Amino acid sequence: MSFLPYALAAWLFFVGLYGIVTSRHLVHLVVCLGVMQSSTYVLLLAIGYRTGKKAPIFTSGVPTKVGAVDPVVQALTLTDVVVSVVASALILALVIEIWKRSGKLDPDELGKQET
Amino acid sequence: MIPLQVVAIVLVGLGGLAVVAARDPLRQALVLGVYGLTLVILFVVLQAPDVALSELVVSTVAFPFILFTALAKMRDRE
Amino acid sequence: MSPRVRLGLFGVSAAVLACLFVWALTGLPQFGAFRGEYGRILNSAAGPERHVTNVVSAVTFDYRGFDTLGEEVLLFTAVMAVALLLREARSGDERRADAVRSDVVRAVGLFAVGPTVVMGLYVAAHGYLTPGGGFQGGVATASGLVLLYAAGRYRAYRAASPKTLIDFAEGTGVGTYVVVGLAGIVVGGSAFLENVVELGVKGTLASGGTIAILNAVSGLAVASACVLIFHEFLEELMTAK
């Protein structure tokens, strides 16, 4: 049972990858890429978790004897979440340009040569 | 592992599958909003409130907004 | 190649990758038994050393501040690329008529703009005291501004976020981060991003030294980056081609 978070990370990764490979719409592809990115967040946070410990915020009044989970992986993940949406916006801008030039949004059709 | 964590993990797994299985981009954008919320629950249960805040603002507002404007733009010519 | 062949190829390679993946993941320490010492030391040392209560913010802006600078440059480059892609190709100035016809949407939306922006600024400013920070608060503030478009008119949104000002704010955000880092070398005489501002009283807003400055500056950079991206996408939608 304690393998479950890591299994979730692997599951999300492969489900997203399957979605990308069998995608018929470029915007659907971008969202499946987002699902693959969320698998890395889950993996990072699952690695840093310590059983029974609390969040690494020590505002006055919070008992400090319990201890806290690892803060380094949380710092990495939170900047990652915001930057990944900006990178997805860049990919969507590329998709809009592709649509403007060719009018097609199906990855299979885009690869075919026009005769 | 406490039962709340098991429930959150199962919800995220089902949510990811639902996002990929929704082939129409418009429906997928809505399912993505719900998937983001299940991720927020998982992050809170894993004792990471900062990451949960990030994921909340990103997946409820920023990502659906750019998806909807892009889809609305590309709906014109069809 | 036909979709069926592609799917078969994917199935084979995904099966191999999945086996390697699962084998690698079983080598990780047990879930909940992470033995990393760096995090443990930081949890106990960040409070006394830097006078902050949110250790994650201290890690983001001080102990691993250089990584955050890399992320901000990534943000800046992506926004610049979006602007380049979408501003270049826009030719027509025909605007679509836009107006929100429902009074309820307009009332509720415009009522919610103020509190959302204030909430976003609050989360950004108190980032090193309670959960939050520049990144979270920046995106929240930007989404509060977008409410102006969703509940009002496009022209109101344009007036509230003039393009040159937002461009300038984005560059200032990333540039000030580098300047504060260089101040560590010039003023402090030691390393890049070294703390040179006096650490205040723990638990108040005036604490953390350079963490407070870097927090505010990266909040500015992220907020203006998000406003720029929303702006570009909205412009695309508004110029019907």
Set of chain B residues whose Cβ sits within 8 Å of the Cβ of C229: 66
Query: Phi then psi for A57, rounded to 5 degrees?
Result: -120, 125
Is residue C13 one of the residues assigned to a domain? no
**Structural domain span for residue C151:** 54-238
Q: How many contacts (CB atoms, under 8 Å) link B and C?
A: 52
Task: Give me the pLDDT at residue B22, please.
Answer: 92
Is residue C109 one of the residues assigned to a domain? yes
pLDDT digits (tens, 9 = 90+) for C19-63: 999 899 888 888 888 888 888 888 888 888 888 888 999 899 988
pLDDT digits (tens, 9 = 90+) for A14-45: 999 999 999 999 999 999 999 999 999 999 99
pLDDT of C193 strictly over 70: yes
Task: Give me the pLDDT at residue A9, please.
Answer: 94
- With cut-offs at 50, 70 and 90, classify the pLDDT of residue C241: low
Q: Note whether C79 contacts A79, CB cutoff 8 Å.
A: no
Tell me what the mean pLDDT of segment B8-18 comes to.
Answer: 95
Set of chain C residues whose Cβ sits within 8 Å of the Cβ of A27: none
* Residue of A49, A73, A96 with shortest CB distance to C31: A49
Task: Give me the pLDDT at residue C95, please.
Answer: 65
**Structural domain span for residue B37:** 3-74
How many structural domains are present in chain B? 1
User: Chain A closest CA to C179's CA: distance in Å?
Assistant: 20
How many structural domains are present in chain C? 1
Looking at domain A4-111, which of 1.10.287.3510, 1.20.120.160, 3.40.640.10, 3.40.50.300 is its CATH number? 1.10.287.3510
Is residue C43 one of the residues assigned to a domain? no
Question: Measured between alpha carbons, how far is residue A64 from residues A59, B45, C47, C128 in Å?
Answer: 10, 19, 11, 17
